[in-house]
Amino acid sequence: MHPEENDEMAKEAWRMFRIMSEFTMGFDVLAQLRPAVTIFGSARIAEGAPEYELAREVGRRLGEAGFSIVTGGGPGVMEGANRGAMEAGARSAGLNIRLPEEQDPNPYQTLSLNFRYFFVRKVMLVKYATAFVLLPGGFGTLDEFFETVTLMQTGKIRRFPMILMGGEYWPGLAKWIDEVLVERGLVSDGDDELFQIVDTVDQVVEIVQAEQERQGHAIDNVSLA
């Protein structure tokens, strides 16, 4: 075996251990957050913008209702949600990712974890959540939406509420799913019911609380496979 091959095998082995260590860290720490709600949204929303303040209010109200708030730990919508949770005295977790741009950790985290690997972080954002709230966002937010919906559609996770906030932002996507994907049989009838669009914080709190009462406090969003 050439020395270069030995070096490459050693690098792969260390990469495997880094991945395992991130999973272990996440499982050990995040289990204490239940019940938790994960909030997704753009890192590019400025403080004081309507979406920022909406995320802040959602985080605060859910925190007051007894839920931990989990976000990707960055600025924008994530910061607003963490800030609201901290203002409510709730646990406010940020699952930060190392990126060259956009992802400076926000200062409103009572629990902060740092991830090297996107796919590990995405598992942690989903695993301990009993509901998901999405505010306007770009490719990252849409990726989180479609991945989480796919996990529910395929039975890999339980069907917890997927709440899209912002009646002016999401209807175009919902219409495309209904009129293209459902109509062409590319997804099943009823798959467009895996998510719901709401406009008010009261609706979010009501939906999350009703689901928590239905499921009970001991339920994890674990794989059913």
Could you report the per-residue pLDDT of 147-174, keeping only the tens digit for each? 999 999 999 999 999 999 988 999 999 9
Q: In the structure, what pLDDT confidence band is assigned to residue 225 with cuts at 50, 70 and 90? A: very low
For the chain, domains (ranges, CATH) are 3-215 (3.40.50.450)
Compute the average pLDDT of residues 54-61. 98
Element (H, E) at 99: none
Contact between 196 and 164 under an 8 Å Cβ cutoff? The reply is: yes
Closest CA to 165 of 26, 51, 23, 42: 51
Does the global pTM surpass 0.75? yes
- The DSSP symbol for 45 reads P
Q: Is the pLDDT of residue 221 over 60?
A: no
The overall average pLDDT reported for the chain is 91
Alpha-carbon distance of 206 to 147, in angstroms, equals: 25
Measured at the CA of 80, the angle between CA 78 and CA 86, to 5 degrees, comes to 105
Q: Could you tell me how far CA 83 lies from the centroid of its own chain?
A: 16
- Give the amino acid at 160: F
